[in-house]
Chain A
């Protein structure tokens, strides 16, 4: 774990910090710290490559991880008031953010995607503010910046660390990305980032995806006033192209059943650890294995009944705020939700028993 071959007098921590800690520093540190951590990770990789060459042994490479993430795990809630939405038209180009076409308080601008992004951002802000006491994505009232019409025939939506961007889809595989569970998913990536972050690979990456799906689904259910049993628990309902045989991108209720199409294949999401997918694609299957914690959340909500954004949402939110482990595994996260449930409902409560049962049913036992 020591970088003795590349020790530098400029970095006294050079020989002390193990790679997993450098990954966290690269994720959470300020600009200088993150740069230092990335540099050391790179040196470490080079050293390991050299060692591998000398030893002719197959040492697996470590992916470089980094990012301008907030350095605090708990985002203090500031004064809660109103969202500050700023919706831009990207003009089908890649440069962000594009031309501002609707600001907070403006009447609908008549650009459907922009008005959907505006309304959706309002629903998501409201979920986090009114239910969990969070003032915007960073907890400190940051503006909600979004770009619609991003790139040409772009089959994607994302959060880039500072704003959301939505493509229109190519009309064949995808017809839109302006659907509330998708908007909530992308904005939740921002919340996760400012809550300390989850490294975007393997199990921690799948947790990042799952937590984004959970709050995306909760934003949708809350906007529709749905009880657990009235919700469809789909992520991205209606966004697939007209010729695609599928109802959505993912199903939290029944992972692996959202689509089955000649072109797209079968929805690959597992619901149980027995079917955990080990792959190097998709950052280690982050969009695949997220089906497992997604299903645990669904089961817990189903056991409790009522409104999922209330107690279940509060437990997941509290767990996210308390989590201080960017490389958390599914089991770590399950523990964290159990702690949050105990904090909110008391030790030995029926809710904690049901939550334990939900995790156990997806193969994460206690």
Chain B
């Protein structure tokens, strides 16, 4: 599974400051591999993307692409406040 994460927005709102990360989950050692699989499971991401925005001012927006072993990609647009802190920490580690 490949996870790609592009971030934009935030206080600066500078499009060119957007970050981009890519990780091959299958190449990761345990327990990182398992944590990534659970955090970026597509059904879970779809649920998170539906969560209401409590306050959106200056928050980052993530565009998360999950590609499975059959090269099937799913794309989710999720704001920072919709992701649990543990997932944000994983993103920071990537």
Which residues on A are within 8 Å of B, measured CB to CB? 26, 34, 38, 64-69, 92-96, 151-161, 173-174, 177, 182, 185-186, 189, 193, 200, 208-209, 212, 236, 249, 263-265, 268, 281-283, 286-288
B56 pairs with A67, CB closer than 8 A: yes
| Contacting residue for B58 out of A94, A157, A173, A268, CB 8 A | A157
From known contacts A94-B88, A94-B92, A173-B17, infer whether A160 and B54 are also in contact, taking CB-CB under 8 Å. yes
- Stretch of B8-16, B24-32, B35-43, B65-73 that contacts chain A: B8-16
Q: Give chain B interface residues in 25-84, CB to chain A under 8 Å.
A: 52-60, 80-81
Cα-based distance from A131 to B57 in the complex (angstroms):
25
From known contacts A26-B52, A38-B52, A263-B16, infer whether A200 and B57 are also in contact, taking CB-CB under 8 Å. yes
Find chain B residues with CB under 8 A from A159 CB. Answer: 55, 57-58
Find chain A residues with CB under 8 A from B53 CB. Answer: 64-67, 200
Find chain B residues with CB under 8 A from A66 CB. Answer: 52-54
Find chain A residues with CB under 8 A from B14 CB. Answer: 173, 249, 264-265, 287
**Besides the known contacts A92-B92, A249-B14, A264-B17, 17 further A-B residue pairs in the complex with CB atoms under 8 A apart:** A38-B52, A64-B52, A66-B54, A94-B86, A94-B89, A152-B92, A156-B10, A156-B12, A158-B57, A158-B59, A159-B57, A161-B54, A193-B55, A209-B13, A212-B57, A281-B15, A287-B13
Q: How far is the CB of A264 from chain B (nearest CB, A)?
A: 5
Cα-based distance from A65 to B79 in the complex (angstroms):
13
A282 pairs with B58, CB closer than 8 A: no
Residue of A nearest to B79 (CB): A283
B16 pairs with A283, CB closer than 8 A: no
B17 pairs with A283, CB closer than 8 A: no
From known contacts A151-B92, A157-B58, infer whether A282 and B9 are also in contact, taking CB-CB under 8 Å. yes
Chain B interface residue count, Cβ-Cβ cutoff 8 angstroms: 28
From known contacts A65-B53, A67-B56, A212-B57, infer whether A158 and B85 are also in contact, taking CB-CB under 8 Å. no
Find chain A residues with CB under 8 A from B52 CB. Answer: 26, 34, 38, 64, 66-67
Cα-based distance from A294 to B85 in the complex (angstroms):
34
Cα-based distance from A173 to B15 in the complex (angstroms):
12
Interface majority SS on A: helix, strand, loop or mixed? loop
B16 pairs with A265, CB closer than 8 A: yes
Cα-based distance from A66 to B53 in the complex (angstroms):
6
Find chain A residues with CB under 8 A from B17 CB. Answer: 155, 173, 263-264
Task: Give the 10 A-B CB pairs with smallest separation, nearest first.
Answer: A287-B13, A94-B88, A94-B85, A66-B52, A161-B55, A156-B10, A95-B85, A158-B58, A152-B92, A200-B56
From known contacts A67-B55, A189-B58, infer whether A156 and B13 are also in contact, taking CB-CB under 8 Å. no
Cα-based distance from A174 to B10 in the complex (angstroms):
12
Find chain A residues with CB under 8 A from B80 CB. Answer: 158
